[in-house]
Amino acid sequence: MSDLLCLCVSWRPRFGRRTLGLLFRNQTPMYKKLTALTLASSIVVVSTYPAVYYVNPRGKDSNPGTIEEPWQTIQKAAQQAIAGDTVIVQTGEYSGSINVSNHSGTVADPIVFLADGKVRVLGGYFDIGTYSVPRHYIHVNGFHFKDVSMTIRGSYNLIENCIFEGPRGGFGISWHPSLDPPSSNVIVRSNVFVNFGQVVVMNTGAKSENIVIEGNIFENIEGDVLRFFGRNHVFRKNIVKGVRETGFHADIFQVYDNNLEPSFGMLIECNQFLDSTGSLCMVLNRGQSLIGNWTWRNNVIVSVDGVAQIAAPYFKFHNNTFVNSGKNTAGPILLRHYGDSAYAFAHNTEIVNNMFIGCGSYPDADGVGWYHFADRPEADFYGFIADFNYVAKSQSAGYASKKGFQGKELNGINGGDPCFIGVSDFRLRSESRAVDTGKTIGSFAHDFDTVLRPQGSAWDRGAFERLQTGQPIRPPAGVSNLRIQEVR
């Protein structure tokens, strides 16, 4: 024991960080993580515990950040918190910008910012990381952001259970383009984005990968909801409602190639796109960028006036249900041809097992209401596959067949009551012609409700697979609509 001069221990209780470490003759401190070392005849153990800090509008940044003496600003906590720490922000209103740039968390010990009660952050920005230094494993939970733009520069960050009430300019959340460091494996889930005007609600960056946007509500938007750049992102189980075109071109998804950024390998599944005058998407490429290979499956698209306008290859539309949509065009899907280079037009498109009910500019006309082509004849769109789709006129026209669709597909269904469960419930009754008449698709085997396909002798058409016993299950509750009511 002759090498041991003194013994201290490090712990971080609710009163802040306390230090208890081991010092040796050379005065070198031991590592703060739990460590066991054998030095000469001595065994030394040093431990550290995460800290819990508190922020309250009535606190002071000169305080120690305890529950009895909290800090006043979230920025103070952002400067102090290290891996494993939790920052509890108590009820009240906070102003001023926030930058989480000093430290990252780890996979086992993230840095957590947790709202305790009704916490409103007003104006400014909330940045994770900087242009030069990304920050990782930062969790943000339960805040109400009003006129706040969030930028994420880093990986494995989590944004959940927040309300983003929009400014009339700026972003809700963005990963800026090529100037920013890479961001991957970020999750944005169970949030509400509401009342954005003439803005992009979410913008992913050129270097971003594997971003998961899941279980959110987007409502009352004037402008583009999502500009989807990067690779292999997932947009799943979201509700997008009330996207309005009011003098500003509004797309739920917009991608273009004039910034030379990729948009490749996107998965859009099990979402509801509802009651919007804007367009479903505009993905346009003149061959300058790697844009393509998007998969749309098991989505419900109801009363979305604008079209899905696509000039990029390898798009797949599988088992989607379109109802009363594409009212400002010939149908819900419009394939474009902007040039002969490999990524300048919509070649190798697959449209299989979808339902198009009452769609098109004139929903009861004979020549519109499903997929169409522009700029070149259909024969120029090589690799095009479309079959097993269900097309009918609107309910008010008795779901009659459309002459323009007659004979268009070998296994297409033209006309007839789709036998939905209800006016706004597009699951299928047992007598529906869509039940057990679809095509097996090898890349997935579930429906909107995560019911396995098939339940009968074959796949069903549309977003829902009919259960063979009892009534169809209901989808998970997801984000409560009461959260939207809070900000109306």
pLDDT at 6: 38
19 has pLDDT over 70: no
pLDDT at 406: 93
Mean pLDDT for all residues in the chain: 87
The model carries a pTM of: 0.88
Partnered with residue 87 across adjacent β-strands are: 53, 113
State the sign of the Cα–Cα–Cα–Cα dihedral 462, 463, 469, 472: negative
What would the pLDDT profile of 20-66 be if each residue is shown by its tens digit?
A: 333 333 333 333 333 333 333 444 444 457 999 999 999 999 999 99
442 has pLDDT over 80: yes
Average pLDDT on 292-304 reads: 98
Rg (CA), the chain: 27
Q: Which one, of 93, 83, 82, 137, lies nearest residue 115 by Cα?
A: 93
pLDDT at 4: 36
Question: What's the pLDDT band for 10 if we cut at 50, 70, 90?
Answer: very low
pLDDT at 198: 72
Share of the chain above pLDDT 90, in %: 75
Phi, psi (5° rounding) for residue 307?
-95, 160
pLDDT at 479: 36
- Residue 403's SS3 state is helix
126: tokens are 């909330």
Amino acid in the structure at residue 94: Y
Q: How would DSSP label each residue in 242-290?
A: EE--SSS--EEEEE-STT---EES-EEES-EEEEESSEEEEEE-SSSS-
- Rounded to whole angstroms, the Cα distance separating 151 from 264 reads 22
What would the pLDDT profile of 403-419 be if each residue is shown by its tens digit?
A: 999 999 999 999 999 99
pLDDT at 48: 59
12 has pLDDT over 60: no
Average pLDDT on 243-268 reads: 90
pLDDT at 1: 39
What would the pLDDT profile of 274-283 be if each residue is shown by its tens digit?
A: 999 999 999 9
- Rounded to whole angstroms, the Cα distance separating 139 from 141 reads 6
Average pLDDT on 314-327 reads: 97
98: tokens are 């926030």
- Rounded to whole angstroms, the Cα distance separating 444 from 453 reads 9
Helix/strand/coil (H/E/C) assignment for every residue in 192-203: EEEEEECCEEEE
- Residue 485's SS3 state is helix
Question: What's the pLDDT band for 84 if we cut at 50, 70, 90?
Answer: very high
131 has pLDDT over 60: yes
What would the pLDDT profile of 87-126 be if each residue is shown by its tens digit?
A: 999 999 999 999 999 999 999 999 999 999 999 999 999 9
- Rounded to whole angstroms, the Cα distance separating 402 from 358 reads 10
Element (H, E) at 115: strand 111-122
pLDDT at 482: 35
